[in-house]
Structure 1
Amino acid sequence: MHAFDVLGDPVRRRLLELLADGERSSGALTDVIRAEFGISQPAVSQHLRVLRDNGFATVRPDGTRRLYAVDDTALRAADAWLDRFRRFWTPHLSALATEVARGKRQRRLAAPHDDDNPGATP
């Protein structure tokens, strides 16, 4: 399965978002996904299996629990594939960063300074 086929499913994307915050048990993941998507525990397990089988997640036993974590292998491959397209948005993001910095500088220069108002209280 191609990385973007895996990531195309909103449940799997949400699982990865949850795992990006750190390792979680299958039970904790299932609770969140069931509440948000209304799907069964076996369906959540199938999504976790797709993530594992395609290099997006790892699992390790911890007593009776199974703990999942992000595996960056497939994410790195997807990032490498996207690399050839970065030229389309990088200049726009750089221009945006320049405009944000310019706006901050203008606001800072326009703000009244305590030196300008000797009667002001700190």
Structure 2
Amino acid sequence: MPPISNWKILKVRRQDLRRNSTPAERRLWMHLRRRQMLGYKFRRQHSLGRYIVDLYCPSRRLVIEVDGNSHFSVGGQASDRQRDAWFMTRGIHILRFRNDQVLKDTAGVLRAIKVWFNHP
């Protein structure tokens, strides 16, 4: 069975996503990098299987997705359900936040993440 994490075939795509991250992704990353969230390490644009997630905390198996408009279309929602099901069958937890939520209420998003860490 191939490893679940960071397939080499996705390396260039991950790098491109890091270089072109959204303002909301960058803002959340600035608060999670360097173990600022309760001492937990996060990885940015990390691949799990064939999927690339916005943020991943390996020690707690937590994915954090920052969703833009494409996630709210019928196709986007179906794709997200498929991804989420794949993660859940592997014991990976998912938290989703909207771009505008991260930009307008960063403190609230950070509180929600802290609550999850304290009560997964």
**Shorter-chain TM-score range:** under 0.3
TM superposition score normalised by structure 2? 0.26
**Bigger Rg, structure 1 or 2:** 1
Higher helix share: 1
Higher strand share: 2
TM superposition score normalised by structure 1? 0.26
